[in-house]
Amino acid sequence: MTTANDAMLKTERQPWGLRDTIWTALILLGSYFAWDVFGSLMDVYEIGILIGTAIFWIWFGRYWPSIQPFTYATALLSLLAIWTYVQNDNAYSVSETAFFLKFLVSSQSAIMWMSALFVLSTVAYFGGLFGKSESVSKFATFLAWAGSVMGSVGMMVRWNESYLINPDYGHIPVSSLYEVFILFAVMTTLIYLFYEQRMRTRAMGGFVMLIVSASVAFLLWYTFDRGAHEIQPLVPALKSYWMKIHVPANFVGYGAFSIAAMVGIAYLIVAKLQEKNPNSDFVQRMPSLESMDDLMYKTIALGFAWFTIATVLGAMWAAEAWGGYWSWDPKETWALIVWLNYAAWLHIRMSKGWRGKPMAWWAVIGLLITTFAFLGVNMFLSGLHSYGEL
Partner 1 sequence: MPNPTPEKAPKKHRRIQWLPFLGSMNLAVTLLMMLAIASVIGTVLQQNQAFQDYIIKFGPFWTQVFNSLGLFHVYGAAWFILVLLFLLISTGVCVSRNAPGFLKDMKQYSEGLSLNAYKHQPQSVTYTPENFDSEQAEKLLQQQGYKVRLHERDDGLTVAGMKGRWNRWGYILTHVSIIVICIGGLLDSNLLLKARELTGNLAPETRSVPLGEIPQKSWVGSDNFSFRGTVNVAEGQKSDVLFLPYDRGFLVQKLPFTIDVKDFRIEYYDTGMPKNYASDLVLTAPELEEPIEKTIEVNKPLYYKNYAIYQSSFGDGGSKLDLKVHPLLAREFKPLEMNTSVDQVETINTPVGKYRIEFNDFKLHNIIPASEEEQNETGKKMHNNGPSIVFKVRNDQGKAWEYENFMTPDKQDGRWFFMTGMRTSTAEPFRYLFLPADEGRGLDRFFEYLTLINDPERTQATLNDALPAEGVDERTHQMQLKLMNQLLMLFRRQGFNGITSFVEENVPPEEQKRVRDYYINQTSLALQTLYLSVLEKEETQDLESISEFNKQWFEDAMVVLNSLSNYGPPLYFELENFTHIQSTGLQITKSPGKDVVYFGSTLLIIGVFFLFYLRQKRLWLAFDNHHQTLTIAGKDTKPLPETEKEFNRLVEAIQAQTGIKQ
Which residues contact partner 1 by CB under 8 A? 1-2, 4-6, 8-9, 11, 166, 168-169, 232-233, 235-237, 239-240, 242, 290-291, 294, 301-302, 304-305, 308-309, 312, 315-316, 319-326, 328, 330, 333-334, 336-337, 340-341, 343-344, 347-348, 350-355, 377, 381
351 binds ligand HEM (CB under 6 A): yes
Residue placing its CB nearer to partner 1 in the complex, 117 or 335? 335
Q: Find all residues with CB under 8 Å of 31, minimum gap 6, and list them.
A: 50, 51, 53, 54
Q: How many residues bind ligand HEM (CB under 6 A)?
A: 5
C-alpha to C-alpha distance for 152 and 137, rounded to whole angstroms: 23
337 binds ligand HEM (CB under 6 A): no
350 binds ligand HEM (CB under 6 A): yes
C-alpha pair distances (Å), 114 with each of 120, 144, 165, 368: 10, 9, 23, 25
**Shortest gap between Cβ of 297 and ligand HEM (angstroms)?**
8
Radius of gyration over alpha carbons of the chain, in Å?
Answer: 22
**Shortest gap between Cβ of 288 and ligand HEM (angstroms)?**
22
**Shortest gap between Cβ of 46 and ligand HEM (angstroms)?**
32
Kindly indicate which of the ranges 29-37, 54-62, 232-240, 346-354 contains the residues binding ligand HEM, using the contact rule CB under 6 A.
346-354
C-alpha to C-alpha distance for 389 and 386, rounded to whole angstroms: 7
CA-based nearest residue to 83, from 67, 71, 99: 99
C-alpha pair distances (Å), 373 with each of 144, 235, 254, 369, 377: 26, 21, 10, 6, 6
**Cα 195–198–204 angle (5° rounding)?**
45
C-alpha to C-alpha distance for 375 and 390, rounded to whole angstroms: 9
346 binds ligand HEM (CB under 6 A): yes
343 binds ligand HEM (CB under 6 A): yes
Residue placing its CB nearer to ligand HEM in the complex, 366 or 388? 366
352 binds ligand HEM (CB under 6 A): no
Kindly indicate which of the ranges 98-106, 155-163, 201-209, 342-350 contains the residues binding ligand HEM, using the contact rule CB under 6 A.
342-350
Residue placing its CB nearer to ligand HEM in the complex, 181 or 342? 342
Residue type, 339: W
**Shortest gap between Cβ of 44 and partner 1 (angstroms)?**
13
Residue type, 259: I
Torsion on CA atoms 45, 307, 390, 331, rounded to nearest 10? -90
Q: Which residues bind ligand HEM (CB under 6 A)?
A: 343, 346-347, 350-351
